[in-house]
Amino acid sequence: MTLHKAGYSLLIKILLFLIVVNTVLFFAVDSPVVLYTAVAVSGILFLGAVNFFRFPKRRVTLDNNAILAPADGRIVVIEETGENEYLHDRRMQVSIFMNILNVHINWFPVNGVIRYFRHHKGKHLKAYLPKSSTDNERTTIVIECRNGQSVLMRQIAGAVAKRIVSYAPVGGEARQDRHAGFIKFGSRVDLLLPLDTELKVALGEKTTGSQTVIGYLKPVSGR
C-alpha cells in the first residue's frame, strides 16, 4: 500500500505513542489477557491510521470542460448560493462529505491557473452541517479554467479534522491529475460552480476523487 506524504510524521508519532503505552503496560500489568488485548487494540488503531492515509493510484483523463470530483465521499449539498469572498456572484454549490473511511486526498477539479488562495481559521463543527462552509477552518481556492470560467473550491475541516494541507500556490497550474491537498480525519469539500454548469450528479450520490464527473462547464463566449 502506498501512503500519502501528509501522513508520514503523524504515523510515526502514533507508532511511538503506542510502543510507549504497550511498554508501560508490559512492566506494570501482570495479566496476559490485558497485555494481549492492548497489543491487539494498538495494532488495529495503527492499521486504521495507515488505511486513512492510503494513496490510490488512479488514471485521470484530463478534460478542460469537465469538472471532476475533488474527493471521495458522498454529495450532501446541491443548491444555489451567493459567494461573497472572491467571485461575488451567485453560484451552484456542490458539497462532498468525506467520512473517516474515505480516501482524504483532494484533487483539483478542473484544469487552469490558481488565481486566489486563502486559509481561514475557524471552528470545527461537524462537516456535513451547512454552517461549516462559512464557520469552520477552511481554505478557499479559485481556479481560472482554460475555457474562461472560474471555479471555487473549499477544503473544510470537520469535527475531528485539525489540519488542512493545501498545494495551491497563486499563479500555479491546476491539473485534474494533481493533488490540491489533504484534510486529516473527516472533512468536506465544496465546489462553487457557474450557474450554467451542466450537472451530472445527484444528492446522496457517492463520488470517487478525480474519476466522477460532477458536471460540464460552458465555455465563455469567444473562448
Place of cell 504497550: 22
Q: Is 187 a catalytic residue?
A: yes
CB 104 within 8 Å of CB 184:
yes
Tell me how crowded residue 70 is: count the other CB atoms within 10 A of its CB: 31
Angstrom CA distances, 183 to 59, 65, 86, 107, 207, stand at: 22, 26, 22, 11, 16
| N-term to C-term CA, the chain | 43
Q: Please state, in angstroms and rounded to a whole number, the distance separating the CA atoms of residues 2 and 186.
A: 20
Place of cell 469552520: 136
- Residue 219 grid coordinates: 465555455
- Residue 113 grid coordinates: 491557473
CB 98 within 8 Å of CB 104:
yes
Q: Which of 133, 150, 187, 210 is catalytic?
A: 187
Active site residues: 187
